[in-house]
Structures are given as C-alpha cells and as structure tokens.
Amino acid sequence: MRDSINHYWLIAICLICVATALLLEPIAQDPAYHLFADQRPLLGVANFWNVVSNLAFVLSGLLGLKLCWQARRQIPGVSEIGLAYPGFFLGILLTGFGSAYYHLAPDTSSLTWDRLPMTLAFMSFFIIVLAEHISVRTARMLLWPLLLAGVLSVLYWHYTEIRQQGDMRAYILVQFLPVLLTPLILLLFNSRYTHSAYFWGMFGLYLAAKVAEHHDHTVFEYTGFSGHSLKHLLAGGGALVFYLMLAQRRAASTSELATRSEANPVADSLPG
C-alpha cells in the first residue's frame, strides 16, 4: 500500500510541474548569462579558466566509460538498462567538450552544444535512479522517451531563439524535474545495491555547483577564481563520485536490505 502511495506522489509532482511549465509565459535566454566574471585569456585561449575547468567533465566521463566497457558484466545493474550508464558518462564527456567550445566565444548559438550533452547526462542519470530504486522495467520503458525529450527540449529552445521568440520552459523542466524527484526517490525507496549513499554526495556537489554558478562574480571577487569555473569542477566531481560508487558497489544482501528498512522506515524495503 505504501509503495503505491509513494508512486502516486511522484506522478502527481510530475504532473504539477508539467502543468506549471505550460501555464508560464515563454522564458527567453537572458543575454547577460554570457557575461561571465572571469574573461581572462591565457596561453592564447580566450576565457581560459572557464574553458580548461571543463577537463573535470572530460576526466570523469572517460573514467566512467572505461569502467562501463571493461567491467560492465561485473558491476551490478549496468547491463540491465541498456545505454543508461555509458550514456551518462558519454553525456558528461561530451559536456566537457561542448562547454569548452561554448566558453571560447559565449553566445546563445554555441550554448546549444553545451546543453545538448547535458540533457543526455541528466536523463540517463534519472533513468539510473529509477532502475536502482523503483523499477528496472519502468526505467527500460522510459529510457528512450526521456532521452528524446531531453534532446527535443534543447532543439526547441534553439529554434525559438532563432525566431527571436526564445522559450526555455521545456529545457528548464528537463533539468529541474529530475533534480526535484531524485532526492524524493532516494528517501522513499531503498536501493538494491550497496554504496547508495554516494547518490547524496553527487546531489550535494550538484547543488554546490549551482550555488557557485549563481554567485559567479562574487566568488571571483573574493577568490580570483570564478564561481562558474568552480561550478565545472564541482559538477565534474559529482560525476567522479558516481564512478567511484560503481567501481565499489555490489548487490545488497537480504540482511542489508532489512537493516536499511529498519533504519529508514519512510522507504520501502525493496523496490519493485
């Protein structure tokens, strides 16, 4: 009974968020977004630190892809939902390149190549959370529709910007909804694997990255290193935490699942 109620809560939140996005007025990209605090060139590279800090994404992406390729049969869950795990790390890797390209000459057009791979990473990660905590079957069904929704949200935004009628609502929804639902899923449903606490580490680093991004100029003023560059390092670090989780984890035993249920009565003992 409690399992069904938890599912209904998640579905209700999704419907409310989608309805809210549809009711809002179109949200155009703010041109001031491209005015980053640290615009210093170095070694012939424009906006050097905002470009080079993307190496955190490249490193984490490469490590994760290597792990998925070499040890995919030994890591519990990786082979259950197709491309979600390598898709996440591929999205992280491509975000490194796309973001670096964007920061060489920041404008709305080049921002598209930053956001496209980000949606691949966001949607893949959300599918992984669904599979590990709720249902592998549901995750398999939603994998391609959610990946397509992510890509289309960016393409739609890009199209509306070209027509000078910019509308970011779909893209904001694609990024915001998984961030809202993930901690709820972690609280309401126990994972079938060990080291699931690493998800909270990832979530914490992501929130810290968003705070650093929001205070880009303030961080730069006080430290000489911009908040946006710090955002890249923190978000890349979050992907590295996920890599470390996969490298260490195993399927949770029955006794471990029972212990988790006793420690966290809000969550169900085992996802369906």
> pTM for the full model?
0.90
* pLDDT above 80 for 214: yes
Give the pLDDT band (50/70/90) at residue 218: very high
Q: In this model, does residue 9 exceed pLDDT 90?
A: no
What tokens were used for 255?
A: 């006794």
> For the segment 35-91, what is each residue's pLDDT rounded down to a tens digit?
999 999 999 999 999 999 999 999 999 999 999 988 776 776 777 787 899 999 999
CA Rg value for the chain: 19
Please state at what angle helix 169-188 crosses helix 136-162, rounded to 10 degrees: 160
Mean pLDDT of the chain: 89
Confidence band, pLDDT 50/70/90 cuts, at residue 241: very high
**Which helix (DSSP H) or strand (DSSP E) does residue 139 occupy?**
helix 136-162
pLDDT score at 3: 57
265 pLDDT more than 70: no
Residue 239 near residue 198 (C-beta atoms within 8 A)? no
Mean per-residue pLDDT, 95-120: 96
